[in-house]
Amino acid sequence: MIRFTNIYKRFGRLQALDNINLSFSASKSVALIGPNGSGKTTLIKSLLGMVVPDKGDIVFKDASILGSCDYRANIGYMPQISSYPENMTISQVMEMMKDIRQYTQLDEDLVQAFKLPQLANKPMRTLSGGTRQKVSACLAFLFNPEVLVLDEPTAGLDPVASGILQDKILQETRNGKLVLITSHILSELDDLVDEVAYLQDGKLQFHKQVVELQAKTGEQKLVRAMAHVMENGGL
């Protein structure tokens, strides 16, 4: 569904992405992990069209996305830090996005699960970080995209809300969608992701199925499997 081929990106002296080759298929949930400065954010922004690679190509459903923007309608994005018009209410923000997208087959499961209708008239400036995260999650899923890009999706969420979101991710993966998740909280990715792509210093260190990673490290928990990889200098 998505293929990165020979992707390079430099910011000044920093080689943010160094010959990245990755392919992701539908019906998969993939963890993009790595230390700060590893290239995760730059890779995601390249997919979203927010960063243009210096070299290489990104293909979505057999067509290059470089120089195109139509494909973005098929991607739902949940940023780690959201920015909304602070004077608008939750309801106004949701309606504004619906008017912009003009899409009728809406997925409002999370809107109801997070009980946002009860908070509809609250201005965005009054919301807690967790509630803003709920709004961002709802908007990412709302237009029924084929691909979901979730950046630290459970940050700021309470355990109940985190569980609701994780269940929704699993459901959408079963429904044939591709879900890309960046997270530093590896313990929350257990039973949630099928594959792991690990980046470091702008380079792809490995892209493995979770079951393969478990078999190679002898560890069932992702956090322990990754610790094993780091302690032993790789797979």
State pLDDT tens for residues 137-187.
999 999 999 999 999 999 899 999 999 999 999 999 999 999 999 988 898
pLDDT of residue 138: 98
186 in Cβ contact with 222 (< 8 Å): yes
- What average pLDDT does range 72-94 have in this prediction? 95
* DSSP codes joined into one string, 61-96: TTEE-TT--GGGGGEEEE-SS----TTSBHHHHHHH
**Going by C-beta distance under 8 Å and a sequence separation of 6 or more, which residues neighbour residue 86?**
123, 124, 125
120 in Cβ contact with 156 (< 8 Å): no
52 in Cβ contact with 46 (< 8 Å): yes
Q: How many Å apart are CA 42 and CA 33, to the nearest integer?
A: 13
Domains, the chain, with CATH or none: 2-231 (3.40.50.300)
pLDDT interval class at 108 (50, 70, 90):
very high
- What average pLDDT does range 70-82 have in this prediction? 93
Average pLDDT of the chain to the nearest whole number: 95
pLDDT of residue 87: 95
- What average pLDDT does range 56-84 have in this prediction? 94
pLDDT of residue 81: 87
CA 59 to chain centre: 17
pLDDT of residue 6: 99
Whether the per-residue pLDDT at 235 is higher than 80: the answer is no
pLDDT of residue 232: 84
Whether the per-residue pLDDT at 223 is higher than 90: the answer is yes
8-state DSSP, 193: -
**Going by C-beta distance under 8 Å and a sequence separation of 6 or more, which residues neighbour residue 103?**
73, 143, 144
C-alpha angle 43-44-48 in degrees, rounded to nearest 5: 120
Helices 90-101 + 129-142 axis angle, to 10: 20
pLDDT of residue 230: 83
pLDDT of residue 133: 96
**Going by C-beta distance under 8 Å and a sequence separation of 6 or more, which residues neighbour residue 41?**
151, 182
pLDDT of residue 94: 96
- Among candidate residues 226, 218, 213, the one with its CA nearest the CA of residue 184: 226
The pair of structure tokens assigned to 85 is 């018009």
pLDDT interval class at 30 (50, 70, 90):
very high
pLDDT of residue 195: 97
More confident residue, 42 or 229: 42
